[in-house]
Amino acid sequence: MRILVVEDEIRLADTLGEIIKEQKYTVDIVNDGEAGYDYALSGIYDVIVLDIMLPKMNGFDVVKALRKNKNQTPVILLTAKGEVTDKVKGLDCGADDYLTKPFAPEELIARIRALSRRHGEVVMDELAFEDLTLNLSAFTLECGNKSVRLGLKEFEVMRLLLSNLGNIITKEDMLLKIWGSESDAEDNNVEVYVSFLRKKLAFLGTAVNISTVRKVGYYLEVKK
């Protein structure tokens, strides 16, 4: 499971990250609303933990913008306020749950699990394009009767491409959303994993290809 934490209090954000990592989940942390919105748009997250009081873009506006763009990733709002009006406003904006600070770590994890289960009941466990299918549970790419297992980074690259059909994903976006803002990974890392994926697509014999826009990024298209 991949979780996005959007929290401007650095110490709290780091604490939330450690709590989530202890559950063997993958977590990305950003510290302002605009960055949180940009990360969330990738569609790669199972649950978003989102503070309300954020710089650049508050949590309410982040949720409203995501829902307007048809992004239905479950959102847990965090607030230091206990007023019913804030809770109601958050839910009306499209949030799925809320927690009032301070809260027990066990409660946060329980709510994350509950939302991921609820989300899973309505979202298919795969992404598909033409004759190609990415199994999100087995980490496999499938075409016809052929199947190949992906490594974690290969899986994340393919998942990002399949979640953004029709859009060019820049190398910078891939580095941020897959390797994280604190990583030392460079453009070459992206190129290496795209090369791995192209070889696996060729093995599968799929009509889908990873195309390059020179000096910009990558997108999926069907071979002509």
Within this chain, do residues 181 and 73 fall inside the same structural domain, yes or no? no
Q: Residue 50's closest CA among 21, 22, 91?
A: 91
Q: What is the pTM assigned to this prediction?
A: 0.60
Q: How confident is the model at residue 96 (pLDDT cuts 50, 70, 90)?
A: confident
**pLDDT surpassing 50 at residue 121:** no
| Domain CATH number, residue 165 | 1.10.10.10
Rounded to an integer, what distance in angstroms lies between the CA atom of residue 71 and that of residue 164? 12
Per-residue pLDDT of 132-184, as tens digits, reads 999 887 889 999 999 999 988 899 899 889 988 888 999 888 887 787 766 67
Domain that holds residue 209: 126-222
Name the domain count of the chain. 2
Within this chain, do residues 95 and 166 fall inside the same structural domain, yes or no? no
